[in-house]
Every structure is written in structure tokens, then in C-alpha cells.
Amino acid sequence: MEERSVKDSNGNILKDGDSVILIKSLPVKGTAITLKKGLKIKGIRLTDDDNEVDCRAEGTRVVLKTEFLKKG
């Protein structure tokens, strides 16, 4: 079985349960929420796509692209 390699914007390998920090403010589609740059998100979950992670931020479940995250 091939080992998956999910990396953040700096090339650090991400795993289930890691904490990440947003490096860019992002609006959340379908809501009036904007996730601010510097927000720390705990307990991410990897998805089937190596460029996305599932997490809970500001009380909402969201899927974020790894290019906007750094390991924290």
C-alpha cells in the first residue's frame, strides 16, 4: 500500500489530528463567515484528495486546500 503524502504550503507532511494555521484570510462559501489569516485550527482530518483537509473552524465544518495552511 502506498503511503499518502499530504503537505502544507511549506512542504511539511500533515497527519490526522495535526494543528494548522491559515496563511491567508478565506471566505467560506454559502455563509457570511471569513476565516482570518493566523487562525489556528486543531484536529484536522485528511480527505481522499491529497490537496484538501477536513476540519472544524468557527463552529462550521469546512474543507480547506493545503496551499493555504502551514503546520502549527
Q: Is the dihedral of CA 56, 62, 63, 65 positive or negative?
A: negative
Q: Is residue 5 part of a domain?
A: no
pLDDT at 69 over 60: yes
Q: Is residue 7 part of a domain?
A: no
The count of domains in the chain is 1
- The answer to whether 59 and 7 have CB atoms below 8 angstroms apart is no
CATH of the domain at 64: 2.30.30.40
Q: Is residue 9 part of a domain?
A: no
| Confidence grade of residue 3 (pLDDT, cut at 50, 70, 90) | low
Q: Is residue 2 part of a domain?
A: no
Q: Is residue 4 part of a domain?
A: no
Q: Is residue 53 part of a domain?
A: yes
Supply the range of the domain harboring residue 33.
20-71
List pLDDT tens digits, range 30-66. 889 999 999 999 999 999 999 999 999 988 999 999 9
DSSP SS3 for 66: helix
Q: Is residue 66 part of a domain?
A: yes
pLDDT at position 1 is 47
Q: C-alpha 38: how far from its chain's center?
A: 12
User: Which grid coordinates belong to 70?
Assistant: 502551514
